Structure formats: structure tokens, C-alpha cells
Amino acid sequence: MRPGTRELLGFAAVGVCAYAADLGLFLWLRGPGGLGPMTAKTLSFAAGCTVAYAGNALGTYRRAAGGHASRLRQYAVFCAVNVAGALVQLACLAVSHYGLGLTSRRADTVSGAIVGMALATVLRFWGTRTLVFRSGTTRAAQDAPAARTAPGTGQATWTG
């Protein structure tokens, strides 16, 4: 399996679990929990972010998670990336609904839950791998061939 494929599949699996936690908690808080929609969504969003962070830190990015940043800082940046993703979804919905005048339920679903979710997922993937779980070395340094020492000189050579 290609290296990026494993990362992408892990990120997607964690995302599905986080989405299920967010949706399930939202539905419970709105129903039996008796909370209003904004309070319920705020709490369910926070729970979804927590599930996603834990899944990515302990699963997808477990090797990079021990980098130079503290867990609290990572979690804060992770939540900020997820808030940015939510804003992308809202922006897509706003442009479609208010800017283009596409006001049907179907148009709102396509712009917010399909187009917006796709763009937000790309942003979240990029933000999670580059801003939250970056390792101490750069990707270029990881991909570069190992330096060898020239015989008798002790100096590094890239030619072998």
C-alpha cells in the first residue's frame, strides 16, 4: 500500500467516527436532552472534534504525534482547523443560498453538505497533517536519500 493511501484511509475512518459522534450527540441533545439547536450543535461539534483528535493522535498520526508540540497545543490547533473547515461549509452554503439565489432544500444540501464538506475535508486533511501532526523533520528531509560518509574523510557525500 502506498504511504499516502494509509494516511488518507486512516484520516477518513477517523472522520467517519467523529461525524457519527457529532451527529448522534446532536440528535440526542436536541431530542431527549431538550437543548436548543445552537447549544446542541456547539456541544456535539466539540465532541466530534475531540473524537477526531483522539483518533488521529492515537491512530493515523501516532508516529508524528509525539513531536515538539504539547498535546494541549495540538488539540487547540486541531480545533482551529476544524472551525476553519466549518466556516468553509457555511461559506459555500451562504454563496449558494444568498449569493446565487439557489434556495431549495436540495440546493442547500448540495452546497453545504456536499460541495462544502468536500472542500472542508481537503482543508482539514491539509491542516491536520501540516499544522497539527507535523513531525520535527520536513517531508523533504524524510524523502531524501540518506547521506553516506566518504571513505577516509568523514565527510558526507550524496553520491555513495
Least confident piece of the model among 22-26, 65-69, 88-92: 65-69
Residue 148, SS3 per DSSP: strand
Residue-wise pLDDT for 10-25, tens only, equals 999 999 999 999 999 9
User: What is the secondary structure of 96-119 as a DSSP string?
Assistant: IIIIS---SHHHHIIIIIIIHHHH
Residue-wise pLDDT for 115-139, tens only, equals 989 999 999 999 999 999 985 543 4
Question: Does residue 25 contact residue 51 with C-beta atoms inside 8 Å?
Answer: no
Mean per-residue pLDDT of the chain: 84
